[in-house]
Amino acid sequence: MTTTLRPDGPEEAGVGGGRTRRWHIMVNGRRAGGLRTNAWARSGRYPGEVCELEVAEADRRRGRATVAVLAAEEVLRSWGCVRAQVIVPAGTPVALHLAQALGYTEQMRNLGKDLDRVPPQTSGLTDRPMTPEEYPAWQEVSIAGYRQDLISAGLDPDEATARAEGDHRRALPVGLSTVGTVLRRLLDADGRVLGTIWVTLHQDRLPDGSPLAWVLLVEVAAEHRGRGHGRALMRIAERECLRAGVRHLGLNVFRDNAVAIGLYESLGYRTTRHVLSKPLL
């Protein structure tokens, strides 16, 4: 039996100059499911995504999804994509195994937590907003660190540079004045900067429509690590969310950052999605 993709309507413009299209999964002319291909334009290079994959119950465990994803990758290649990404919800081991069998490797995972109370402040520590004078140097270091994380996750240097610079530009289009941005410094009793927390409020929404904030960076100065300051920064993030009326907080963590994963899980964060990718050679 032959499994193919058939367009489910015309191609549409995607976010930021990209493109998107929904497809039927067909088996000998009969619809057996569907999926969507997305591509985003970033500095002339297109990362791609295969998403919204669904296969009818009667057609599962017959290789339909495998063939459909491979066909979707061909679509992404024809669109000029250099990499494909899939996002697998937590608790779906069959989908995770399929992605891994097709050569996708985990780049990062999403974790989340429902917030119910303002956490206590860590004794002897305070915090304050980042100042305009501090911002340029912080941004330069932050972009460089993010670029290196992307390279470690499997992106080539040029792709990592374009993504790191582009993501920062989109997240902070007007710097510290960007609406919904929290950028705060953690200080010790002598006023020394120990670390920085970056949170964006109201960036996303849960299925019920409630706002979901995201921690974009938890950064502790190298000479102050291993003393619980990361935990203190996360308490600041939770406090700022609740002050803004946001009761759900999510974050991304790269696959090889076991220390950070352990910290977040100890604070009650649980994995919600796995983000996997592969190069399209």
CATH number at residue 18: 3.40.630.30
Rounded CA Rg of the chain: 21
Query: Which candidate, 161, 156, 221, places its Cα nearest to that of 186?
Result: 221
**Is 36 within a domain?**
yes
> Which of 47, 80, 103 is where one domain is finished?
103
> Which of 77, 103, 129 is where one domain is finished?
103
**Is 108 within a domain?**
no
Report mean pLDDT in 10-residue bins for the chain, 281 residues: 91 81 95 94 69 95 95 94 93 95 94 91 91 96 92 82 87 93 95 96 79 94 91 96 95 90 95 94 78
Strand, helix or coil for residue 145: helix
**Is 92 within a domain?**
yes
**Is 171 within a domain?**
yes
Return the pLDDT at 1. Answer: 65
Q: Indicate the pTM of the whole model.
A: 0.85
> Which of 103, 127, 155 is where one domain is finished?
103
List CB contacts of 215: < 8 A, sequence separation 6 or more: 197, 198, 199, 234, 237, 249, 250, 251
User: Within this chain, do residues 228 and 154 fall inside the same structural domain, yes or no?
Assistant: yes
Pair 196, 135: CB distance under 8 Å: no
Residues shown for the chain: 281
User: Within this chain, do residues 126 and 217 fall inside the same structural domain, yes or no?
Assistant: yes
